[in-house]
């Protein structure tokens, strides 16, 4: 199955010759942007899904497959939400969520379902050019072998994570049930949730070298774009538990395997499947109002003449408080095409405008390399829309390189995300997570940011979409196979 990449409003490309240009091509753009049958205008739907990211796509596909009349509304011109891939000069660039792993069971089930389970490639290229780790910290700039850098990072991370003497197994034995399980009391979890990553680093600081300390202080913002002072240590423990309590598997789970055709290829397969099964949809349709009255939810979009209204009835005070505080991930993610072979390059600059770099395989034609780099929270420090040339300067700090183009999606200025995937501050999870996961009348809240498992991952988005669809199906009724001729008897059973 092949798709034609169409121009989206999203994304930016910067070259010295053309400056900053908005809009990149992606498989995720859907045309025509609206498919609603005339006969269905103004109807009462079984379900209306707001947002065409992976959560919405999974929910929509599951609902129409069960025969439920479903409408998908998306504010953007594309599917994917915070996960989408751009196609530029024959090369695929992942602008948001990227990596896949066999520990992500729901995600790999979807990849298998649509013929993509073996269609993966590695970000790392063994034996690629510049196959070493550049480390530029307060102790100077130098090159390390990938093996030495990996061993240093693993040692520091293992110390950081071994809070309970069992690599997190004692405190977080069931990471999908962190806030309530039979082995650990809520009070124990709550106590650890009051710790910041800085608190934990201070506990082990005398066991770390200067370089190991720099790696820890840069890895935390690399993962979640918050500072070690703000990020809650509980979330780090839970992430370690999800990947098997083993720091040695970090790269395989977080930054190694990706879909060869790009995430938009998988998202498009799910969307097209849902449309084949009867999904109707409208893109470029931001929501202005959501009103739940007498069990029926009505929506207003900016494409109609409705008057603006907030969500009614209003959210609970606790949820409103959680929303005002928000989360910490205000990341910058940057791609670049550079001349020559830098496929083996890895590196860390701390402190710096960009924190980590990865060689990401050859671009089309095998004469230039795709580079990917991440920063922490650069708000007030570096605005890529105003100073894109500084991205090139930051990349040069990792390694001398001749940059042909720089590409990025500025998630902070994006009105529908305003940030990256959620990571939470100290004390947030035990106070707010349960409230964020609650439904609001007939409005079901589903998002990777408050998933029970892989929060802020593609896997977490799929978890939430599937659960929301199940809730809808259970409540509006699914007849199922071999229905009984005695429904009253079935109810008694």
Report residue 477's pLDDT band, with 50, 70 and 90 as the boundaries: confident
CA distance 196 to 14: 37
Beta carbons within 10 angstroms of residue 194's beta carbon: 13
Q: What is the pLDDT of residues 83-126, one digit of tens each?
A: 999 999 999 999 999 999 999 999 999 999 999 999 999 998 98
User: Among 100, 104, 235, which residue's Cα sits nearest to residue 160?
Assistant: 235
- Domain membership flag for residue 468: yes
- What pLDDT score was predicted for residue 453? 96
- What pLDDT score was predicted for residue 41? 79
- What pLDDT score was predicted for residue 491? 53
Contacts of residue 86, Cβ cutoff 8 Å, sequence gap at least 6: 5, 8, 11, 24, 25, 26, 92, 93, 95, 407
Same domain, 268 and 207: no
Does the pLDDT value for residue 214 go beyond 60? yes
If you average pLDDT over residues 474-484, what whole number do you get?
79
| Stated pTM of the model | 0.95
Contact 473/464 with Cβ under 8 angstroms?
Answer: no
Same domain, 239 and 270: no
Same domain, 32 and 181: no
Same domain, 186 and 230: yes
Q: What is the pLDDT of residues 61-85, one digit of tens each?
A: 999 999 999 999 999 999 999 999 9
C-alpha neighbours within 13 Å on the C-beta side of residue 380: 1
Radius of gyration of the chain (CA): 23
Q: What is the pLDDT of residues 253-262, one digit of tens each?
A: 999 999 999 9
- What pLDDT score was predicted for residue 308? 46
Q: What is the pLDDT of residues 178-197, one digit of tens each?
A: 998 999 999 999 999 999 99
Q: For the chain, give percent helix, strand, coil, nearest 5.
A: 35, 20, 45
User: Among 154, 246, 159, which residue's Cα sits nearest to residue 202?
Assistant: 159
- Domain membership flag for residue 283: yes
Q: Who wins on pLDDT, 328 or 493?
A: 328
The alpha carbon of residue 470 and the mean position of all alpha carbons in its chain are separated, in whole angstroms, by 22
- Domain membership flag for residue 187: yes
Report residue 52's pLDDT band, with 50, 70 and 90 as the boundaries: very high
CATH code of the domain in which 61 resides: 3.50.50.60
Same domain, 178 and 197: yes
CA distance 262 to 260: 5
- What pLDDT score was predicted for residue 235? 94
Q: What is the pLDDT of residues 400-440, one digit of tens each?
A: 999 999 999 999 999 999 999 999 999 999 999 999 999 99
Does the pLDDT value for residue 385 go beyond 90? yes
Structure tokens at 120: 């993966």
- What pLDDT score was predicted for residue 60? 98
Same domain, 158 and 219: yes
If you average pLDDT over residues 470-480, what whole number do you get?
88
- What pLDDT score was predicted for residue 322? 97
Helix runs in 335-422, H state only: 389-398
Q: Who wins on pLDDT, 359 or 41?
A: 359
- Domain membership flag for residue 319: no
Same domain, 170 and 35: no
Q: What is the pLDDT of residues 294-309, one digit of tens each?
A: 888 999 887 654 444 5
Q: Who wins on pLDDT, 130 or 483?
A: 130
Q: Which residue, of 226, 252, 278, is where some domain finishes?
A: 252
Does the pLDDT value for residue 492 go beyond 60? no
16 lies in which domain range?
6-100+262-313+440-476
- Domain membership flag for residue 20: yes
Same domain, 445 and 308: yes
CATH code of the domain in which 226 resides: 3.90.660.10
The residues facing 240 across adjacent strands are none
CA distance 377 to 222: 9
Same domain, 160 and 247: yes
Does the pLDDT value for residue 153 go beyond 90? yes
Lowest mean pLDDT among 93-107, 112-126, 331-345, 466-480: 466-480
- What pLDDT score was predicted for residue 486? 67
- Mean pLDDT for the chain overall: 93
Structure tokens at 492: 């008694």
Same domain, 83 and 23: yes
Q: Which residue, of 208, 223, 252, is where some domain finishes?
A: 252
User: Among 175, 172, 222, 174, which residue's Cα sits nearest to residue 197?
Assistant: 222
User: Among 364, 486, 467, 461, which residue's Cα sits nearest to residue 104?
Assistant: 461
- What pLDDT score was predicted for residue 306? 46
Number of domains in the chain: 2
- Of all residues in the chain, the percent with pLDDT exceeding 90 is 88
- Domain membership flag for residue 124: no
Same domain, 30 and 88: yes
Q: What is the pLDDT of residues 223-266, one digit of tens each?
A: 999 999 999 999 999 999 999 998 888 899 999 999 999 999 99
Does the pLDDT value for residue 480 go beyond 80? no
Same domain, 158 and 222: yes
Instruction: Please say whether the dihedral angle defined by the alpha carbons of residues 139, 347, 329 and 300, taken in this order, is positive or negative.
Output: positive
- Domain membership flag for residue 281: yes
- Domain membership flag for residue 297: yes
If you average pLDDT over residues 136-147, what whole number do you get?
90
């Amino acid at each position: 199955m092949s798709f034609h990449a169409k121009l989206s409003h999203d994304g930016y490309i910067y070259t010295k010759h053309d400056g900053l240009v908005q809009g990149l091509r992606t498989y995720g753009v859907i045309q025509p942007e609206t498919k609603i049958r005339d006969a269905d205008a103004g109807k009462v739907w079984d379900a209306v899904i707001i947002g065409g990211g992976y959560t919405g796509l999974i929910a929509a596909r599951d609902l129409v497959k069960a025969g439920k009349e479903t409408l998908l509304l998306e504010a953007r011109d594309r599917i994917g939400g915070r996960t989408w891939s751009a196609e530029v000069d024959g090369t695929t660039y992942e602008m948001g969520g990227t990596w896949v792993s066999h520990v992500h069971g729901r995600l790999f089930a979807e990849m298998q379902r649509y013929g993509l389970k073996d269609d993966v490639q590695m970000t790392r290229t063994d034996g690629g050019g510049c196959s070493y780790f550049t480390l530029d910290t307060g102790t100077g700039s130098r090159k390390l072998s990938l093996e030495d850098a990996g061993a240093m990072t693993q040692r520091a991370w293992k110390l950081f994570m071994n809070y309970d003497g069992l690599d997190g197994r004692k405190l977080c034995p069931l990471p999908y049930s962190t806030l309530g399980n039979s082995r650990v009391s809520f009070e124990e979890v709550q106590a650890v949730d009051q710790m910041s990553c800085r608190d934990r680093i201070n506990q082990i600081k005398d066991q770390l070298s200067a370089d190991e300390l720099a790696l820890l202080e840069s890895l935390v913002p690399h993962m979640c774009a918050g500072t070690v002072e703000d990020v809650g240590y509980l979330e780090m423990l839970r992430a370690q538990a999800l990947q098997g309590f083993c720091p040695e598997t970090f790269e395989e789970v977080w930054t190694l395997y990706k879909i060869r055709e790009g995430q938009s290829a998988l998202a498009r397969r799910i969307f097209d499947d849902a449309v084949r099964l009867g999904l109707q949809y409208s893109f470029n349709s931001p929501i202005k109002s959501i009103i739940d009255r007498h069990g029926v939810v009505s929506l207003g979009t900016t494409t109609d003449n409705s008057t603006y209204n907030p969500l009614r009835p209003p959210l609970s005070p606790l949820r409103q408080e959680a929303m005002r505080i928000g989360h910490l991930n205000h990341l910058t993610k940057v791609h670049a095409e550079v001349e020559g072979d830098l496929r083996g390059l890895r590196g860390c600059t701390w402190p710096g405008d960009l924190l980590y770099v990865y060689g990401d395989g050859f671009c089309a034609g095998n004469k230039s390399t795709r580079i990917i780099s991440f920063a922490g929270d650069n708000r007030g420090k570096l605005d890529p829309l105003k100073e894109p040339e500084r991205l090139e300067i930051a990349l040069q700090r990792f390694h001398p390189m001749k940059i042909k183009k720089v590409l990025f999606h500025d998630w902070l200025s994006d009105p529908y995300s305003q940030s990256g995937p959620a990571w939470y501050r100290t004390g947030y999870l035990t106070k707010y997570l349960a409230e964020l996961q609650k439904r609001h009348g007939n409005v079901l809240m589903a998002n990777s940011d408050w998933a029970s498992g892989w929060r802020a991952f593609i896997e977490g988005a799929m978890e939430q979409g599937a659960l929301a669809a199940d809730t809808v199906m259970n409540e509006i009724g699914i007849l199922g196979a071999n229905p009984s001729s005695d429904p009253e008897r079935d109810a008694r059973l």
